[in-house]
Structure 1
Amino acid sequence: MLDEATINQLSGKFIVGTLIFIRVSALFFVGPIFSHSSVQPTVKIALSIILAIMMTTAFGSQQPSVDLHLWVLTGLAFKELLIGAALGFAMNMIFHAVRFAGGLLDFDIGFQTALLFDQNADVPTLIGELKNMITLMIFLGLNGHHFMIEAIFASIRAVPLAEFAVTESTITIIVRLVTTVTIIAIKLAAPVLLSLFIMNVSLALLSRVAPQLNIFTLSLQFKIIVGLIVLFVTMPLFFVITKSAMLTFQNEAFAVVMALNPKR
């Protein structure tokens, strides 16, 4: 039979494994790729269990040095949930920026007109979905999925299981993330938006010179043609900005985790 010391050791490892599982699963449910609805919850949970087992063998000695009452364990579980979700949120910001930029372009070009008939429909915008798929390929090409696993291991080292604090620096980093998303979205959409603005001004002047022309009908066609041409001509710029932003958000993800450690 197992003695009391062995039972305590096994129960401690089980608690550590459970807390790590909560952190990993929160990342998979919020972070890029795995948070997509096409990935079944069973797949996310299975991957979380596998990673939790691997990480428990590496960090099994990080047993919380507190009295493990039910309310304490509940607080620790909630803390792990927040850390994993914060890490996944920071990693997913580049995809939010790309979808935001795509939504701006769809609205200005006119592709979003069909969606205005049902405001409650959860239908992705055309250009937003295209840019999102391209960003996903860039993410995989930069080994972003490997970075997710590395980030989880690094988060355990940076923020042990019993340590957690939301400080002023944490709030500052989160606000900076949201601001960066807006800036990157505007950068991605700026070439097309500027081209369409110039075209609209030109058509407005043309309507003053030749009022007999149906400028409104012509503008709908010209918006689509000019928008798509500029979109594909500036695609190399999209790759450069997206790659740079992705590396920035990876660094910000680590910064978010480090800011959650009260000792730093």
Structure 2
Amino acid sequence: MFPQGFVGIEAQLWLWLLAMVRPGAAFLAAPVFGAPYVPVQLRLIVALAVGIPAAAAVPFAMPDGGLVTIAGAMMVFGEVLAGLALGFAVQIGFSAALLGGETIGNAMGLGFAGMIDPASGSSSPALGQLLSILGTFLFLAMGGHLMLASIIFDSYRALPPGQGWLGAESVRGLAMFGGTVFAAGLAIALPVGFALILVQIVMGMLARSAPSLNLFAVGLPATILAGIVLLAIGAPTMADAITASLQRGLDYAMQIAMGR
């Protein structure tokens, strides 16, 4: 498929460019790879390293006029759509950690404490950032980056370039899968969030029994202290919930790669 020698060097470069499109789009939408702190040059090299053997493993033909024709543009668009769907499915599973951290932060009264998220460049709650960093460590520890590369490679078999498009059912299923991020985020925040709600109920009962008690001066430090202790106790359970959410995202990306 790949021409040899300097005679077909231009055609080979066009093939390499097409092979980079799907992995590059997937890495752009996926966690860790798509972060602003990851150099673009490194992302392109990884996309090329994944795309060349994947494209060489399946037979496909370039359009007669190349990629600058309408047929070529449609082929590139299909590759971009497939790559974004694969990366976005993993990103949905990763976003549950950030949502869980925001829920716990609001329950602790730390919703106002924010910091710049290096992964997105925007401001996010401090606890959401903490769980997001934890999710990044777990994603790398479980080999999620290698699993994503394997999923992209396998997607070329069911969805070869120019011959396989994501159907309307696949796109609808991806949108419906996005709704699971709320359930996963609540599952991550449940061990700490529910206990914090009980602490706030106790603080409310104290405020009713002793009206002279300054609830803001007493309740906020008590809630923050209880939240820190509960975070330390519930860290293993929260880590398991984050890992399960990441695994669901990778599993759904595999379903998309299989053309389901």
On whether the aligned pair clears a TM of 0.5, the verdict is yes
- Cα distance in 2 for residues equivalent to 1:186 and 1:84: 28
1:129 aligned residue: 129
What 5-or-longer segments of structure 2 have no aligned partner?
A: 116-120
For residue 63 of structure 1, give the secondary structure of its aligned residue in structure 2. Answer: coil
Q: Which residue of 2 aligns with 1:62?
A: 60
Shift of 1:23: 0.6
Query: Is 1:138 aligned to 2:135, yes or no?
Result: no
- SS at structure 2 position matched to 1:35: coil
TM-score by length of 1: 0.85
Measured in 2, the distance between the counterparts of 1:73 and 1:40 equals: 28
Taking a change above 3 Å as real, the CA distance of residues 7 and 41 of structure 1, as seen in their structure-2 partners, is: closer
Query: Which residue matches 2:118?
Result: none
Percentage identity across paired residues of the two chains: 22
8 Å Cα contact 1:106/1:126 also seen in 2: yes
1:197, 1:107 → 2: CA distance?
11
Matches within 5 A, 1:108-187: 108-115=107-114, 122-187=122-187
Deviation of 1:256 (Å) = 2.3
Distance 1:56-1:226 versus aligned 2 partners, 3 A rule = same
Q: Residue 113 of structure 1: SS of its match in structure 2?
A: coil
Structure (1/2) with the larger helix percentage: 1
Question: Using the alignment, how far apart are the partners of 2:235 and 2:170 within structure 1?
Answer: 34
Q: Does 1:238 align with 2:249?
A: no
Change (3 A) 1:13 1:158: farther
TM-aligned CA deviation for residue 54 of structure 1: 3.3
Residue matched to 2:31: 32
- Tell me the residue number matched to 1:43: 42
CA distance, structure 1, for counterparts of residue 7 and residue 78 of structure 2? 23
Query: CA–CA distance in 2 between the matches of 1:7 and 1:51?
Result: 23
TM-score, with length taken from structure 2: 0.86
Q: CA contact under 8 A between 2:158 and 2:164: conserved in structure 1?
A: no
Structure 2: distance between partners of 1:200 and 1:207: 10
Q: Which runs of 5+ in 1 are unaligned?
A: 1-5
Q: What is the deviation of 1:15? A: 4.1
Partner amino acid for 1:159? L
Letter in 1 for 2:80: L
Which one is further off, 233-242 or 12-21?
A: 12-21
- The one-letter code matched in structure 2 to 1:238 is M
Answer yes or no: is the 8 Å Cα contact 2:112–2:125 preserved in 1: no
Question: What is the RMSD of the two structures over their aligned residues, measured on CA atoms?
Answer: 2.7
Q: Match for 1:130: what amino acid?
A: L
Q: Mark the CA change 1:166 to 1:79 in structure 2 (over 3 Å): closer, same or farther.
A: same
